[in-house]
Amino acid sequence: MRDTFKAALKDALKAGDKRRLATLRLITAAIKDRDINARSEGKDPVSDGEILQILAKMIKQRRESATTYEEAGRLELATQEREEIEIIEGFLPQQLGEDEVEAACKEVIAELGADGLKDMGKCMGVLKDKYAGQMDFAQASKSVKDLLS
C-alpha cells in the first residue's frame, strides 16, 4: 500500500492536483506517525491492515468535521472535507453493504459461540481484524448488539 501512496503522490504532484496532493500528504504523515510510535515500542512498521484502519479513521474524522462545518454554515469547508473523503475512499477496498455486514456479524458470532452482550467486544475485535477498511464499524456494532440481544 505504501508504494500505491507514493505513486499517487507523484501523479498528483505532476498533475498539479492540490487537493489530492494535500490529502495524500496527510495520509503518508499519519502512516509515518504510526510507524514512529510502533518503532518506539519496539514493534514492526504498520501493516496494510493497520493502514486500512488509519484510512477508515481519517474518513470518520472528516465526516464528523463536515457535519460540524455544515451546522456552522461553513459550506466551503464541508465541501473540502467531503472531497478528501472521496480521495481517501479511493484507496479502500470495496465497502460491504448492509446485508453483507449483517452476514459477517452472524458468521463471527457463530464462530466465537457468542451468546450475550458480554461477548460483543470479542466479536468486534474479530470483525476489525478480518474486515479492516471494508465496513462501517458503527453499523457493525449495532448489528452485533441486535444479534446478541
Both 11 and 76 in a single domain?
A: yes
Summarised one tens digit per residue, pLDDT across range 66-105 is 999 999 999 999 999 999 999 998 988 787 888 888 888 8
How far apart, in whole angstroms, are the C-alpha atoms of residue 113 and residue 98?
A: 22
How far apart, in whole angstroms, are the C-alpha atoms of residue 112 and residue 48?
A: 25
Both 18 and 50 in a single domain?
A: yes
Both 18 and 52 in a single domain?
A: yes
User: Would you call 131 helix, strand, or coil by DSSP?
Assistant: coil
Summarised one tens digit per residue, pLDDT across range 95-131 is 788 888 888 888 888 888 888 888 888 888 888 888 8
Both 115 and 59 in a single domain?
A: no
User: Would you call 46 helix, strand, or coil by DSSP?
Assistant: coil
Both 20 and 75 in a single domain?
A: yes
Q: The domain spanning residue 133 has which CATH number?
A: 1.10.10.410
User: Would you call 68 helix, strand, or coil by DSSP?
Assistant: helix
Domain boundary among 72, 89, 106: 89
Both 49 and 113 in a single domain?
A: no
Grade residue 146 by pLDDT with cuts at 50, 70 and 90: confident
Compute and round to an integer the Cα radius of gyration of the chain: 18
How far apart, in whole angstroms, are the C-alpha atoms of residue 73 and residue 52?
A: 31
Q: The domain spanning residue 37 has which CATH number?
A: 1.10.1510.10
Query: How many domains does the structure of the chain reveal?
Result: 2
Domain of residue 132, residue span: 98-148
pTM: 0.72
Both 85 and 104 in a single domain?
A: no
Domain boundary among 54, 69, 89: 89
- Centre a 10 Å sphere on the Cβ of residue 87 and count the other Cβ atoms it contains: 20
How far apart, in whole angstroms, are the C-alpha atoms of residue 130 and residue 5?
A: 22
Both 22 and 70 in a single domain?
A: yes
pLDDT of residue 73: 94
